Amino acid sequence: MKLSTDSYKGVRDFYPRDKFLHDYIINTWSQVCESFGYESYNASILEPAELYKSKTSDEIVNEQTYTFEDRGGREVTLRPEMTPTVARMIAARQRELSFPLRWYSTPNCFRYERSQRGRLREFWQLNADICGIAHHDADVEVVLLAWKILTAFGATEADFEIRINDRRVFEHIFDEVGIDAGTRKSIMSLLDRRAKIDTFETELASLAGDKAKQLMQLLDTAASNPLLEDLRNRLVALGVTNIIIDTSIVRGFDYYTGMVFEVMDTAKENNRAIAGGGRYDNLLTLFDADPLPTVGFGMGDVTMKDFLEIHGLIPEYTSATDLMLCVLSDDATAFADALALKLRDTDVNVAVNYSYKKAGDQIKVADKKGIPFVICIGSKELEGDTVTIKHLGSGNQKEISTDAIADYIVTHEL
């Protein structure tokens, strides 16, 4: 019976060139987070299913999680998001950890959903959180961090914009208009879909009745709220000019309690959020732990890759291998092995080609793999003190002593 070579539906195989781009995304996220003093953490993708039942959105838990019973009868979920895990880990050691705490991770997460552009069943997601700061300072920092990450990928401020809002502004308006608690949630959900639907006004009227008009007036003027203006002004002072107060930003998760924000791609063909987050000060209370003011955000690898493609920001592939030694006859193998071992100790990454094919065929393999330099080793090289190194990109070649190879490669690449 023939086995299929297809991967499971909705997930990806990362061949070396895919892996290169994926690593580029993960490493850029990590480097910028570390430049802001964020520490890296991780956890297993397997979590007890109950972790998601109270705070993750109902749609995700009921329709989109991978949840199953293990062989011991325990209900397990493949994490659909990282926030419940980070809350669990902090709650477990709240007394030992020192605050402010800055943590980031780049986990893979799983959602059972129909595959479509920007959505896969397995995706990687940057999660960055600062905990222990109730002050606006932390809101400023997290938005700045998201902005700095986009610019680290080479994006300009024309490529994206940051839209900010504050959950407390809604609550204040709801209080003023007199909307009851149950209806608030439905209105928030409707506001979240505002840009995507045509029936916004009729749906709002059916929820808010004769209060709809006043509600919209207050929401439309909320942009001049002092909370949001202070946040925007501080970011502008730090050089973030593509920031917009947008009172239609809600964010789906129930756990947000203050500032919320989304980073939007400005490209017309990809007009959607590429990152989002906000303040959630109550998350630890699930674990009976002391409340902990927290601001954080997430950014996915699939949407990030789409963003980089649309804006021409995909980096050129470069092989991690510097040099291929092409062995031309089996009496040259020991020489090539010993030379490779010596070069590796001087930080040159060396592959040896043991196919014993013709020099031209071996060089073609190096070229196809993107390996920049080749040296052929045959009887001539065994007898003399020198080898000929060739740079495949330029066609340059030079006869040099084996001691000079490492320097030649470093210099040539400059």
Instruction: Name residues contacting a copy of itself, limited to 57-76 (CB under 8 A).
Output: 63, 66, 68-72, 74, 76
Q: Does 21 bind a copy of itself (CB under 8 A)?
A: no
Q: What is the dihedral of CA 377, 381, 387, 389, to 10 degrees?
A: -20
Contacting residues for 380 by C-beta, under 8 A, at least 6 apart: none
* Range in contact with a copy of itself (rule: CB under 8 A) among 162-170, 305-313, 343-351, 375-383: 343-351
Binding a copy of itself (rule: CB under 8 A), the pick from 24, 41, 200, 335 is 41
> Residues 57, 63: contact at Cβ < 8 Å?
no
Q: What letter does residue 4 receive in the DSSP assignment?
A: P
Q: How many residues bind a copy of itself (CB under 8 A)?
A: 103
Min separation Cβ 177 and a copy of itself, Å: 34
Binding a copy of itself (rule: CB under 8 A), the pick from 131, 353, 375, 405 is 353
Min separation Cβ 13 and a copy of itself, Å: 5
Nearest Cα neighbor of 38 from 234, 233, 295 is: 295
Min separation Cβ 266 and a copy of itself, Å: 23
Binding a copy of itself (rule: CB under 8 A), the pick from 99, 178, 195, 309 is 99
Q: Where are the beta strands (DSSP E) in 59-212?
A: 66-69, 75-78, 101-105, 108-110, 122-131, 160-166
Q: Where are the beta strands (DSSP E) in 222-272?
A: 243-245, 259-265
Binding a copy of itself (rule: CB under 8 A), the pick from 80, 88, 146, 257 is 88
Min separation Cβ 39 and a copy of itself, Å: 4
Tokens representing 33 are: 């987070």
Min separation Cβ 214 and a copy of itself, Å: 36
Contacting residues for 104 by C-beta, under 8 A, at least 6 apart: 29, 30, 33, 34, 38, 39, 40, 41, 126, 127, 128, 129
* Range in contact with a copy of itself (rule: CB under 8 A) among 162-170, 268-276, 313-321, 392-400: 313-321
Q: Does 384 bind a copy of itself (CB under 8 A)?
A: no
Q: Does 404 bind a copy of itself (CB under 8 A)?
A: no
Tokens representing 48 are: 């007890």
Q: Of 64 and 248, which CB lies nearer to a copy of itself in the complex structure?
A: 64
> Residues 102, 38: contact at Cβ < 8 Å?
yes
**What are the distances in angstroms from CA 54 to CA 61, 65, 170, 276?**
9, 14, 23, 21
The residue assigned the tokens 């010993």 is 338
Q: Of 19 and 213, which CB lies nearer to a copy of itself in the complex structure?
A: 19
> Residues 49, 67: contact at Cβ < 8 Å?
yes
Nearest Cα neighbor of 162 from 236, 73, 93, 254 is: 236
> Residues 164, 225: contact at Cβ < 8 Å?
no
Binding a copy of itself (rule: CB under 8 A), the pick from 126, 228, 324, 389 is 324
Binding a copy of itself (rule: CB under 8 A), the pick from 209, 239, 291, 315 is 239
Q: Does 29 bind a copy of itself (CB under 8 A)?
A: no
Binding a copy of itself (rule: CB under 8 A), the pick from 46, 158, 195, 382 is 46
Residues between 121 and 160 that touch a copy of itself (CB under 8 A): 121-122, 132-133, 135, 137-138, 140-141, 144, 148
Contacting residues for 235 by C-beta, under 8 A, at least 6 apart: 140, 143, 144, 147, 162, 243
Q: Does 305 bind a copy of itself (CB under 8 A)?
A: no
Q: Does 344 bind a copy of itself (CB under 8 A)?
A: yes
Q: Does 241 bind a copy of itself (CB under 8 A)?
A: no
Question: Beta partners for 131?
Answer: 101, 294
Tokens representing 238 are: 């730090």
Binding a copy of itself (rule: CB under 8 A), the pick from 365, 392, 404, 406 is 365
